Structures are given as structure tokens and as C-alpha cells.
Structure 1
Amino acid sequence: MVYRGTVVADHVTEPYLVGVEAIAGELLRGKWCVYLHEWLGDDYDLASWRELVAAEAERSGVEVCFVQIPRKDMTLVANVRALPSFEQVTESVAALEHYRGLAAGRGWRGAATGRRSAQ
């Protein structure tokens, strides 16, 4: 499974691809992920995706929290020891809404770039 979302450090970046097994590493580096639910595809539902992410994080020693953003059809995944601010989450959601709009306009489904992991 491929995770697609926005990963943020000090600023919002363009969405890029991160495998489920790499999310814990992103979280350990003080980043967080916002995931668009429509990118689950036919392979997973939200509950099974969350279980996979939580299991990978536990193996890496990361305590994660999930915050569902129902009106935006997104889920925030964060390290409980490095939570983003309200402003950072708001920026992340706005960036993903922008890319969601681009995707809809182009018939494009996926992240803006093909990077597999963070910098």
C-alpha cells in the first residue's frame, strides 16, 4: 500500500508518496501526515489503514494519534510527542485541498510528486 499525503516540518510541502512502513520514520523526525481518504482505493478501508499505520509505528517505538477531519475527508497522523500546531494543521489541510482540486481538474489521482520518502 502507498500512503499519499502532506508531510510537514517547519512548513507545508507539496504532497508526496510515503509507504506505510515509512510513516513512523517521518513521525520520528517531528513531521506528521495528512491523508486523503479517497486515496485508500479499493484495497483498504480507513480502519484497516489505521491499524497498519499503528502497527508499523509501534514496531518503531512511535506512539501515534489519529485525528479524523470528517468535513474534509482527511485523517491526521501524528507522533504524540511532536504534535503540530493548529496553524500547521490548517495549512496542511489547505494545501491538500488545493492539490485535491488540481487532481479533480486533471483527472489525476495521487500526490504531486513521486518522492518515496522525506528529505
Structure 2
Amino acid sequence: MNDLNELAQKLAAGNWIVFRHEYLGDLCDLETWTAALRGCCAALDVVEVLVTITRKDLTIVFNAEKVPDAEAVQASVSRAELDRWLDRELRPELPARAARGK
């Protein structure tokens, strides 16, 4: 649950989440995960918006009061798909840029 609290805090700050469904594992399903995330968001008075892309096995979550632009979300989705294809863990953008020397 700590991870979900952390995600809710990131949503409150205006970040968005591209969640790969394979991270659910065997102990949790998508409905349980989204319900738990909604509970954490409610505790922070964050109204979350969830968009599930079934054919890509991804869920995008963002703060309804701080909606990201479509191009930024598309770039994040493309990055998640590339990392999945390369079998890499999705890294947050800032550490990823630092690793690339940018």
C-alpha cells in the first residue's frame, strides 16, 4: 500500500502514471489495484482519472485537476511499450535522463 500512497502523492503533484498490467502479479487484479489507488487518492483529495488501454495492457492515471497534454501522455505510453519490448523496467524520467547524460 505504501507504493500506492506514493503514486497518489505523485498524482497530487500533477504527475501521471502509465501502469503496465504485468506488474499486478498473481496476488492482485486491476480492479483491486484501482480501488486501492482511488482510496489513497481520496485521502489526499485527489480526483483521479483512469484510462485503461486493454489491447496494450496499460492503464493511464492522472489528476483530473492537472490534466497532462496528449503528446506527453503518448510519449510516456510509447516509452512504456519500448521498455516492455526491450524487457526493461520503466524508469522515472529524471533518472533516465541523468543516465543518458541529459
Q: Same fold (TM over 0.5)?
A: yes
Higher fraction of helix: 2
Task: Choose 1 or 2 for highest CA Rg.
Answer: 2
Is 2:21 the counterpart of 1:28? Answer: no
CA–CA separation in structure 1 for the residues paired with 2:79 and 2:90: 11
Q: Match of 1:84, SS?
A: coil
Out of 56, 61, 64, the position equivalent to 1:80 is 64
Q: What is the CA-CA distance between 1:44 and the residue it aligns to?
A: 0.6
Identity percentage of aligned residues: 34
* Structure 2: stretches of 5+ with no match in the other structure: 93-102
Q: Detail structure 1 runs of 4+ shifted over 3 Å in the superposition.
A: 110-113
Match of residue 79 from structure 2: 95
TM-score, with length taken from structure 2? 0.82
Higher fraction of strand: 1
Q: How does 1:21-60 map to 2 (within 5 A)?
A: 21-60=5-44
* Structure 1: stretches of 5+ with no match in the other structure: 3-18, 114-119
Tell me: higher relative CO, structure 1 or 2? Use CA pairs within 8 A at least 6 residues apart.
1
